[in-house]
Amino acid sequence: MAQIKALTMDLERETHVWQLLKKQFGIPKLAGYRFLKSGRKRIRLISEAAFKLLSKLPYTGTTGLYIGEYSPKAFRLSMDGAQLLGHHATKQKVELTDVQAQQWLQGESVNYEDIQRGYVIVIHNNTILGCGSLSKGLLRSFVPKIRRLKLSDQLPGGECSCQSP
């Protein structure tokens, strides 16, 4: 039980994370889930049922799904965190065109004029791609290098095809 307790967030900090998610993205507190610390800033999400089960084990290793990084003023969702929680979001969402989505998934920043600023959930054709940072008309990509699309070759008609590494 000591191992899982060491990862558990205090109630005040856990409440603050839920408040940040609500303020930034409109994501409400989801019943049946707990946050765990993973280093100084990283946050993982775990179901209450899994938390209870793991609390009985002597060693849990890395537990839960990494959903983002916490700071007192903002929360940056990870790619998986955006895809898991983004469907609950009511604000700070941006929709990309085909060309913009391809560039963004390759790790490039794309031009995007919008009045929103800060961290946003990036969407293409109703599919959540991840989380980016929008400022001064530029949408910055946080797609991890290992998950970026690579430009492979030219298709007939001059279109580019991309494939995962």
Residue type, 137: G
Q: Is residue 160 part of a domain?
A: no
| The domain boundary residue, chosen from 59, 87, 115 | 87
128-139 residue pLDDT tens: 999 999 999 999
- 164 is a domain residue: no
Same domain? 21 vs 64? yes
What three-state secondary structure class fits 139? strand
For residue 127, the SS3 value is strand
H-assigned helices in the chain? 2-7, 11-25, 48-54, 79-85, 98-105
Residue 12 lies in a domain: yes
pLDDT of the residue at 150: 82
> Residue 120: which CATH number?
2.30.130.60
Q: Are 52 and 72 members of one domain?
A: yes
- Looking up tokens 């060309």 gives 99
Q: Which of 40-54, 107-121, 148-162 is least confident?
A: 148-162
In a domain, 156, yes or no: no
Residue 5 has pLDDT above 60, yes or no: no
- The terminus-to-terminus CA distance of the chain in angstroms comes to 39
Q: What is the pTM of this model?
A: 0.83
